[in-house]
């Protein structure tokens, strides 16, 4: 009993996976740990703060009522985000395993939750790294003056502009034709885009090398990858505030449209954004926190990281709106100049009379006409020529209309932002900084996502980290070639819409229910008190047990209804017309969409069924020293050095307390055994035994 509640001296990953496990603790290497608390916080921030903060949150803010959107977002962050983030941090830290081992420990029948997290992580990693490769491509093209997307290219050996570019814009053309070389629909694969294939290979190589070194070196990488985006965002904010029109953009952002707040759609989108912003359900949060010390204050971490995430989103939104305000002013000036020329033509042809033009406006200098003067002219002309005004073809040229053109995702990063940067003084410098920031944000999230795959698999199957990492990255790169075809962008959209949303929601609901109802909320609170040194606020008790699961179920149902009501579709770029069109997925595309959701969530019912019907039980492969009688453990071997924390907390002697899982000796090579050496447990059952019963009076059994 003397070393009860000590958990930091157990199985790790990587090097320790091939250590003989038959002897004392001294023979085992420690589980890797973070070098410092700062390194760990930066890793969690790097994982949770990703591309969504920069290109999805500002779009949602713009679309859902400007500053008013922050209210539902904050409320849902407190009701869903922080409680669930705290739950995942606490579970990972308490059980010190990846997602598979954690949920196996809570209840073997729920072991599929961990596998589902791994599958979702893998799906997300596949397309997320493609976005990083796009950013790498733009980064590599930014070291030239003027920037290659500065103006439309000419047709070869001719003086006229490429028609596709003329019909759209220089940055839109560059994105769809030069970068993606996109096909007209998802059915036309068009072969591989070699430029993007090379960039994808570089992106996977970077992730692979960083992950092979393990959490301690990825922690060092985090110092740069987590902090650099803040430096860039602040520089961008200062620079953009000095540009003409930036204040218009920020004013537009903070002008609340309160009536929109009452719409259910706004709350659903805010809840979904909270959910994905914190990386809940991926297993990355659990993986990172499993390397913490036992007495780390994970409640403080949960609140801190959640609010850092929120303020990063607000900072990014300020930057985006300031830059879009600047761009809107430029577009508005172009609009005014173009329409002033039209007015001059109409005056010359006698359709308009000179008397309609206010005396103080000098039309000889078209570029000098201000937006205010232009609107005065338009109002006079509209008043006099009311019936004929529409036929004159004059536009309103409003900054508000320009700002209301909502852009998100790739449209924001690779079209709107790149266009704004072409007007910046020293534009290549800002372009390099912006795309380097996107690469950093993407890599920070990728580390957490890959950790969400590797940690549980290493903890479960005891393979060497180096081999598993390389194997995982090679497999992901091979499948990722799907996304660097000419039609690849459409597959990215498909995976983004269907591979994560529903499966992750289901995973997090099951996580919440597993802790609150299977493991027991009171028992979990005792564990937290033991870890933190104080009892968490009662607020979390009611959140975890009632409010959060109900809110998540409402969100799941509304997401499900929305998916059914809106048939699967994607936005395609039509080369001839140089416009985007919404197309329906072909029948095989709908099958792929449904398959993504089913494959991601399939491990949950499969593992539950296999356990429930005892198709897989503890007697498999001769590994078990445990017998079952009506689901109760009646005989168990365990390691003399270890304790069952839960039983100690509840005042039982360890041998009296039934354990949710058999003792760790099941999965250890038996030093005195005449049987086969065993160092792997099947079906994700490895590595949670070190929290099981301590029975000093019982010798280890031989198989």
Tens digits of per-residue pLDDT, 178-229? 999 999 899 988 889 999 999 999 999 999 988 887 655 656 667 787 788 8
Considering the domain 37-331+407-613, what is its CATH architecture?
Up-down Bundle (1.20)
More confident residue, 397 or 286: 286
Res 636 pLDDT > 60: no
Q: How far is CA 500 from CA 170, 367, 374, 497, in A?
A: 33, 49, 49, 7
444 is in an annotated binding site: no
Of 425-434, 440-449, 546-555, the range with the lowest mean pLDDT is 440-449
Q: Are 274 and 77 in contact (CB under 8 A)?
A: yes
Per-residue pLDDT, 518: 86
Per-residue pLDDT, 603: 92
* pLDDT tens-digit map of 241-258: 888 888 888 888 888 777
Res 5 pLDDT > 60: no
- Mean pLDDT for all residues in the chain: 77
Per-residue pLDDT, 691: 25
pLDDT band at 400 (very low <50, low <70, confident <90, very high): confident
Model pTM?
0.76
Residue 563 and residue 542: Cα distance in Å, rounded? 30
Per-residue pLDDT, 168: 82
Residue spans per domain, the chain:
37-331+407-613, 332-404
Burial 506-537 (b: 16+ CB within 10 A, else e): bbbbbbbbbbbeebebeebbbbbebbbeeebe
Q: How far is CA 677 from CA 44, 508, 648, 669, 689, in A?
A: 38, 37, 32, 5, 18
Q: Phi and psi dihedrals of 626, rounded to 5?
A: -115, 135
pLDDT band at 130 (very low <50, low <70, confident <90, very high): very high
* pLDDT tens-digit map of 646-701: 322 333 333 333 333 333 332 333 333 333 333 332 222 222 222 222 223 333 33
Res 461 pLDDT > 60: yes
445 is in an annotated binding site: yes
* pLDDT tens-digit map of 533-565: 888 888 999 999 999 999 999 988 988 888 888
* pLDDT tens-digit map of 31-87: 777 878 888 888 888 888 888 888 888 888 878 877 788 888 999 999 999 999 999
pLDDT band at 303 (very low <50, low <70, confident <90, very high): very high
Burial (CB < 10 A; 0-12, 13-18, 19+), residue 211, is: buried
Q: Are 617 and 611 in contact (CB under 8 A)?
A: yes
46 is in an annotated binding site: yes
Of 68-77, 150-159, 286-295, the range with the lowest mean pLDDT is 150-159
More confident residue, 583 or 634: 583
What's the mean pLDDT in 110-132? 91
Per-residue pLDDT, 138: 94
Residue 271 and residue 76: Cα distance in Å, rounded? 6
Q: How many beta carbons lie within 10 A of that of residue 12, not counting itself? A: 22
309 is in an annotated binding site: yes
């Amino acid at each position: 009993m003397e070393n009860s509640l000590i958990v930091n001296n157990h199985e790790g990953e990587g090097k320790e996976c091939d250590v003989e496990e038959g002897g004392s603790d001294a023979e085992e290497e420690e589980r890797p740990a973070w070098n410092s608390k700062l390194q760990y916080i930066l890793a969690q921030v790097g994982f949770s703060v990703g591309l969504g903060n920069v290109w999805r949150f500002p779009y949602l803010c713009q679309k859902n009522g400007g500053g008013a959107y922050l209210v539902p977002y904050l409320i849902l962050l407190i009701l869903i985000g922080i409680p669930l983030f705290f739950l995942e941090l606490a579970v990972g830290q308490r059980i010190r395993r990846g997602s598979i081992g954690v949920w196996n420990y809570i209840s073997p029948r729920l072991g599929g939750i961990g596998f589902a997290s791994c599958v979702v992580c893998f799906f997300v990693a596949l397309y997320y790294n493609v976005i990083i490769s796009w950013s790498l491509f733009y980064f590599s093209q930014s070291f030239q003056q003027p920037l290659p997307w500065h103006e439309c290219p000419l047709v070869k050996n001719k003086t006229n502009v490429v028609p596709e570019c003329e019909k759209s814009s220089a940055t839109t053309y560059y994105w769809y034709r030069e970068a993606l070389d996109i096909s007209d629909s998802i059915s036309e694969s068009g072969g591989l885009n070699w430029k993007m294939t090379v960039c994808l290979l570089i992106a996977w190589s970077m992730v692979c090398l960083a992950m092979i070194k393990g959490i301690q070196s990825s922690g060092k990488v985090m110092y740069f990858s987590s902090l650099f985006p803040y430096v860039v965002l602040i520089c961008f904010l200062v620079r953009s505030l000095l540009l003409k029109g930036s204040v218009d953009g920020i004013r537009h952002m903070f002008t609340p449209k309160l009536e929109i707040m009452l719409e259910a759609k706004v709350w659903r989108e805010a809840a979904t954004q909270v959910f994905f912003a914190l990386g809940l359900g991926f297993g990355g949060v659990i993986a990172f926190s499993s390397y913490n010390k036992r007495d780390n204050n994970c409640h403080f971490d949960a609140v801190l990281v959640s609010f850092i995430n929120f303020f990063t989103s607000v900072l990014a939104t300020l930057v985006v709106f300031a830059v879009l305000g600047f761009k809107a002013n430029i577009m508005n000036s172009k609009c005014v100049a173009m329409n002033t020329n039209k007015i001059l033509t109409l005056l010359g042809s006698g359709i308009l009379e000179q008397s309609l033009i206010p005396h103080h406006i000098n039309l000889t200098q078209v570029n000098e006409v201000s937006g205010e003067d232009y609107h005065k002219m338009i109002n006079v002309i509209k008043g006099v020529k009311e019936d004929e005004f529409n036929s004159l073809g004059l536009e309103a040229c409003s900054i508000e209309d320009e700002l209301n053109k909502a852009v998100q995702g790739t449209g924001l990063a690779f079209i709107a932002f790149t266009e704004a940067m072409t007007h910046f003084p020293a534009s290549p410098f800002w372009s390099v900084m912006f795309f380097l920031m996107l690469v950093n944000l993407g890599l920070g999230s990728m580390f957490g996502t890959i950790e969400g795959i590797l940690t549980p698999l290493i903890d479960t199957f005891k393979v060497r980290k180096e081999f598993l990492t390389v194997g995982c990255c090679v497999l992901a790169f091979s499948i990722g070639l799907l996304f660097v075809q000419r039609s690849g962008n459409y597959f990215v959209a498909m995976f983004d819409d269907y591979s994560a949303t529903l499966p992750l929601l289901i995973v997090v609901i099951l996580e919440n229910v597993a802790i609150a109802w299977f493991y027991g909320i009171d028992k979990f609170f005792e564990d937290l008190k033991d870890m933190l040194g104080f009892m968490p606020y009662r607020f979390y008790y009611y959140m975890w047990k009632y409010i959060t699961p109900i809110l998540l179920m409402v969100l799941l149902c509304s997401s499900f209804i929305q998916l059914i009501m809106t048939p699967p579709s994607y936005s395609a770029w039509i080369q001839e017309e140089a416009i985007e069109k919404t197309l329906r997925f072909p029948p095989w595309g709908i099958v792929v969409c449904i398959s993504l959701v089913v494959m991601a969530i399939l491990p949950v019912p499969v593992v539950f069924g296999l356990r429930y019907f005892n198709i897989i039980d503890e007697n498999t492969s001769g590994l078990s020293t445990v017998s079952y009688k009506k689901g109760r453990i009646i005989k168990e071997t365990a390691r003399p050095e270890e304790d069952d924390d839960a039983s100690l907390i509840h005042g039982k002697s360890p041998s009296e307390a039934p354990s949710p899982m058999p003792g760790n000796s099941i999965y250890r090579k038996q030093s005195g055994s005449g049987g086969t050496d065993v160092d792997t447990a099947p079906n994700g059952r490895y590595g949670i035994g070190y929290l099981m019963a301590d029975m000093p009076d019982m010798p280890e059994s031989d198989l």
